[in-house]
Chain A
Amino acid sequence: AQSVTQLDSQVPVFEEAPVELRCNYSSSVSVYLFWYVQYPNQGLQLLLKYLSGSTLVKGINGFEAEFNKSQTSFHLRKPSVHISDTAEYFCAVIRNSGNTPLVFGKGTRLSVIA
């Protein structure tokens, strides 16, 4: 079975500063990895995904993430955050074959301070 650990439950950061949200996963088979964002009172929106190929993936809103197989990590980064980036961020993993569910981490609350 797959599992996801998001190491920080809350991350406060000043506007225009860089940010990294950490995600580690556990799986005995190859996986796909995702980051979703959830704004207040809304569903989940896909930020970016890693399926194969280049380990550095770029997503929407200036976010990017790097897949590191040896460290089983998929950390999310943004070089300069905005107030509008304040939201809950979820890392998720799924097996890359078969029909298995997407498994989510518990989320990281990013708070951008003016």
Chain B
Amino acid sequence: ETGVTQSPTHLIKTRGQQVTLRCSSQSGHNTVSWYQQALGQGPQFIFQYYREEENGRGNFPPRFSGLQFPNYSSELNVNALELDDSALYLCASSVATGTATTPLHFGNGTRLTVT
């Protein structure tokens, strides 16, 4: 059973640029969530995808967008990068049922630095 894998592990971008982060879900998991973890903080929920549709969003602007593919892998896109976007971006997968979800399984994250 493969776990959650994220790529790339590190990335450096310039303010104003766009970035795409990728995530492969754990086998059998149909839901993917993305979190932003700033230095010294807990993870903050960005959004969640289920069956290729966004079904929950945190307090992040529209320049944060995502996709989920039929194989349940996912992308996080951030446009017009700002310095404050520098953080560890975590992807987590889970299995959604009708009432709740199983515990999240996290990848090791992508460390994004915006200069």
Contact = CB atoms under 8 A, between A and B. Distances in A.
Interface in B64-110: 90, 92, 96, 99-101, 103-109
Nearest to A107: B42
A44 B96 contact: no
A96 B102 CA distance: 10
Contacts, number: 64
Contacts of B28: none
A91 to B, nearest CB: 9
A94 B100 CA distance: 9
A106 B100 contact: no
Nearest to B105: A46
B49 to A, nearest CB: 11
A67 interface: no
Interface of A: 4, 32, 34, 36, 41-46, 49, 90, 94-107
B100 A102 contact: no
A94 B35 CA distance: 15
29 contacts: A36-B106, A42-B109, A43-B90, A43-B106, A43-B107, A44-B43, A44-B104, A44-B106, A46-B105, A90-B42, A94-B100, A95-B100, A96-B100, A97-B99, A97-B100, A99-B50, A99-B55, A99-B56, A100-B56, A101-B45, A101-B48, A102-B33, A102-B92, A103-B45, A104-B35, A104-B44, A105-B42, A106-B40, A107-B41
B16 interface: no
B8 interface: no
A46 B103 contact: yes
